[in-house]
Amino acid sequence: MNCADVRQHWELYYDSEGDSELYLQINEHLAACQGCAKWFFQQAQFEDAVTAKLAAAEPTAELWQRVLYETGVARPASARGWAFFSPFLALAASLLLVVGVWQFAPQRPPEHLSELTAVVHQQLTDESEQIEFSSLSDVEVEEYLKDRVSFPVRCPPRKDAGFEVRGGGVCTIAGDPAAYVVGRVENKDVSIFILPAERLAQFVHERDVLSREAVHHCHEGEYDMVLAKVDRNIVVVIGRGSPDKLERVVRAYGTYPHDPA
């Protein structure tokens, strides 16, 4: 692929809509061509900035309350007697919250994404935690996850990236939901954890390393691990596979499966 071919396909690449062959060819070109790498970076940077401007903010609670009541999906609060006590209850809850934050916040150690994901990976592989949704189809797993988390999730890597998907689900990492995909790389269990990119701020160590490196390799106990920021996700791939194979899985995350239509 020459520069013109590569640039012609930048939108498919950016949107993760091309097939993985296209994705790999463009990656190869970008690794060798500084001009195109800079050009792609600028296109993506602009689209990311526009997306961030347009992205969904928190839903308006009052508006949704009215919408759900008016449509009959939710009922108006029936226990009106509580209304008299509600200011006192709110005050008591606030006090409890303040005490809770004061008591527990300073004792909380900084959290490492690598450690937390390693724990969940271990639970999934030794089956102390059941895989929520089992499927050998990357499309099915993607659909399942997209329906259950509020942040964007891209399609899992496919067999041509050396990853055989087995299922997926939603777990809790540092108190918030994260999506996971489980599968095998060279017959070894590998998990992929997907978090919204904004949560990188929560993990100081990972935030720092990913500000310096596009793809970061590390070890956690007996596991090898690769972290990267891919589009609007933080992606963590963990398992006993070789680091090269795990990196290949990270790079293939989000490549779009061939659409037979």
Partner 1 sequence: MAKPSDDRTARFLQHLEPLKAALEAYCRRSVHDPSGVEDVLQEAVGKAFRDFHLYAEGTNFRAWIFRYLNLEIYAGNRSFHRERREALANEPTVEDVWEHAIDEPLIERLLGEPERILSHCDEALATAIGELSPLERSVLLLRAIGQFKHREMADILEVPMGTIMSALSRARARLRLRLAEYAREHGLLGPGSLQNPK
Which stretch in 64-72, 95-103, 158-166, 209-217 sits in contact with partner 1 by CB under 8 A? Answer: 64-72
Sign of the torsion formed by the C-alpha atoms of 169, 167, 251 and 117:
positive
In the complex with partner 1, the residue whose CB is nearer, 55 or 174, is 55
Distance CA 195, CA 253 (A): 13
Residues of span 78-107 touching partner 1 by CB under 8 A: none
CB of residue 259 to partner 1, shortest distance in Å: 6
Residues 234, 195: contact at Cβ < 8 Å? yes
Binding mask 31-50 for partner 1 (x = CB under 8 A): -----------xx-xxx-xx
Of 5, 28, 35, 68, the residue at the interface with partner 1 (CB under 8 A) is 68
Which stretch in 20-28, 99-107, 113-121, 148-156 sits in contact with partner 1 by CB under 8 A? Answer: 148-156
73 binds partner 1 (CB under 8 A): yes
Label residue 242 left, alpha or beta by phi (over 0 means left) and psi (-120 to 50 means alpha). beta
In the complex with partner 1, the residue whose CB is nearer, 32 or 63, is 63
Residues 233, 152: contact at Cβ < 8 Å? yes
Of 70, 126, 127, 222, the residue at the interface with partner 1 (CB under 8 A) is 70
For 30, the 3-state DSSP assignment is: helix
Burial class (CB in 10 A: 0-12, 13-18, 19+), 61: exposed
In the complex with partner 1, the residue whose CB is nearer, 58 or 222, is 58
Measured CA to CA in angstroms, residue 5 lies from 2, 25, 29, 35, 36 at distances of 5, 10, 10, 14, 11
In the complex with partner 1, the residue whose CB is nearer, 144 or 203, is 144
Length of the chain: 261
Q: Give residues in contact with partner 1 (CB under 8 A).
A: 11, 15-17, 42-43, 45-47, 49-51, 53-60, 63-64, 66-68, 70-74, 143-144, 146-150, 152, 232, 256, 259, 261
